[in-house]
Amino acid sequence: MTLLDQTPRGTDRFVYVSADDPVAQPLLRELEQEYDARYGEFFGEKASAEIRRYPASAFSTEEGGAFVLLLRDGVAIAGGAYKRFDEHTAELKRIWTSSTHRRQGLARRVVKELEDEAVRRGYTRAYLTTGPRQPEAKHLYFQTGYTPLFDTALDPEEVVVHGFAKSLDDAPLDVAGITTAHDASLGLRRSSSGREERAPRIETTSDGLDTAAGGLLDQRSSVKVVPTRHWWRWVLSALVAFVVLQFAWSLVTNKQYEWNVFAEYFFSQSVLNSLGVTLGLTVVSVIGGFVLGAVLANFRLSKSPLLSGAAYVYIWFFRSVPLLVQILVWYNLGYLYPTLGLGTPFTTDFWLVEFSTTTLITAFAAATIGLTLHQAAYFAEIIRGGILSVDQGQLEASAALGLPRRVRFFRIILPQAARAILPNFFNEVIGLVKGTSVVFVVALPELFYTVQVIYNRNQRVIPMLLVAVVWYAIITTVLSIIQFYVERHYARGAHRELPPTPVQRATAWVKQQWARLGDETGDDPLAAEKNRRHDTVLGSGS
């Protein structure tokens, strides 16, 4: 009977095996692939070489180690190991959760089981290392009470190897419902409820801000961690700072900018009215262009040669003709077609309804039509690219489930395609905001045209251009902020951790600088408390 056959169905069970047991190999192969995908040759060799650095015997009972698997229905879904570091310390390795079973707290359970096993073997400390590209691992170790042996304020790529340690003297032992292959040899005493008894734990954890906790291990007490010096980064940063300061100084001291004129016209009624025209053109063109672009994208992906060909020709034509020419053609459409209407096909007998073209196609209408049709061609390719980025297996699986085509598109394909569509979509929208300035050729009073009229009258060219530039910059900034939060929303499920918001980044940076300043000067009001907690965690092993 195999190990899998011995595992009850529908239960989770910790089982101690050899590191080269066939049951563990799929989990270890996935771990190697993940390491190589994240690090490549970051360490000077393939990252998976570290997995094979230690022989299986290093994790055997005879060598003072252990290798544990968490089985569910006979399948290894998580695992980990430790080996002897010294007579008091167990070094945790190979902690891994199958990619199909994450976000269930399995890694935390594996770490606890390894700590409990190490306590049973007489170890009083746990030590482990991880790399700079495993933020979820560092988060786990912080949450489970490990103290970092590196400066957390530094760039993770500078630290390279991130060491953690933890005292196990008072760690609890809760293995109810878990049977190991060698419980009998450990001399553990079970209570009447079947639980192994151990003294209660006094909870002591790191606050995540402790830095340079060197000296935990006797072997490492004399090692001084020196961060990598990036001299060229400092030189280039100083150069950029100098250029920025020089430009800012010229903005303040150069009277030719005429900031008084800028302030006079920035909120003038004519400028604000023209700003409304610009925003109106942008909104209408984006909505119309996106809807038409979505239709064209689906036509391009259609199996109908007529629909696919028509969409291809449309996209080719409107991307070939300059936007300025398109707007001028629409504005002068009355030259080609004096009247427009509905009536008998292939004739000019508009017996149902008839309009004068010059009355119907105003300057605003010509600009809107030109911008909408032009943008639709670009939106179509952006949407088509996003749809093609969705894995083919997603389409096949949803079709195999019998989902209606509309449900497949809006519930399966579109949410995943949005992650590829959004960056290019917002890029086009921001470009369109500034692209509306081309409608000045039809004398439509948008922002740039109005600024031109004013500086032609008062001869204050630079201040008036600055008015337009600042308003365009404000609109672009607002759109960029919206883009960030929309992309962050659709990033859920694609990343283990959502990208931090600007406020979160600023807060983290302030905390890092405060912690670094306090450690360097000794004036940190929390330093005494941090040292006390540090001694509590590490006192038994120092």
pLDDT at 191: 37
The β-bridge partners of 69 are: 15, 79
The helix or strand, by DSSP H or E, that contains position 15, with its residue range, turns out to be: strand 12-16
- The structure tokens listed for 463 are 């201040």
User: CATH: 1.10.3720.10, 1.20.1740.10, 1.10.10.10, 3.90.550.10. Which one for 263-495?
Assistant: 1.10.3720.10
Distances (CA, A) of 172 to 193, 197, 306, 318, 340: 16, 9, 71, 70, 84
Residues ≥6 apart with Cβ < 8 Å to 19:
56, 58, 59, 60, 67, 81, 94
Longest dimension (CA), the chain: 103
Residue 291's pLDDT is 95
Encoded tokens for 458: 């008062």
Looking at residue 362, its amino acid is: T
Ranges of each domain in the chain? 12-184, 263-495
Same fold across 12-184 and 263-495: no
Alpha carbon distance 258, 261 (integer Å): 6
pLDDT one digit per residue (tens) for the chain, 542 residues: 445 445 455 578 999 999 888 888 888 888 888 888 887 776 667 766 777 788 888 899 999 999 999 998 888 999 999 999 998 999 999 898 988 888 888 999 999 999 999 999 999 999 998 888 888 888 889 888 899 888 777 777 777 788 899 998 764 433 333 333 333 333 333 333 333 333 333 333 333 333 333 344 444 444 555 667 788 888 999 999 999 999 999 999 999 999 999 999 999 999 999 999 999 999 999 999 999 999 999 999 999 999 999 999 999 999 999 999 999 999 999 888 888 888 778 777 776 888 888 888 999 999 999 999 999 999 999 999 999 988 888 888 888 888 888 888 888 888 888 889 999 999 999 999 999 999 999 989 999 999 999 999 998 999 999 999 999 999 999 999 999 999 888 887 666 667 778 888 888 888 877 877 765 555 544 444 444 444 433 343 33
Burial class (CB in 10 A: 0-12, 13-18, 19+), 387: buried
Residue 490 Cα to chain centre, angstroms: 10
3-state secondary structure 348-380: CCCCCEEEEHHHHCCHHHHHHHHHHHHHHHHHH
Architecture of the domain defined by 12-184: 3-Layer(aba) Sandwich (3.40)
The per-residue pLDDT for 363 is 92
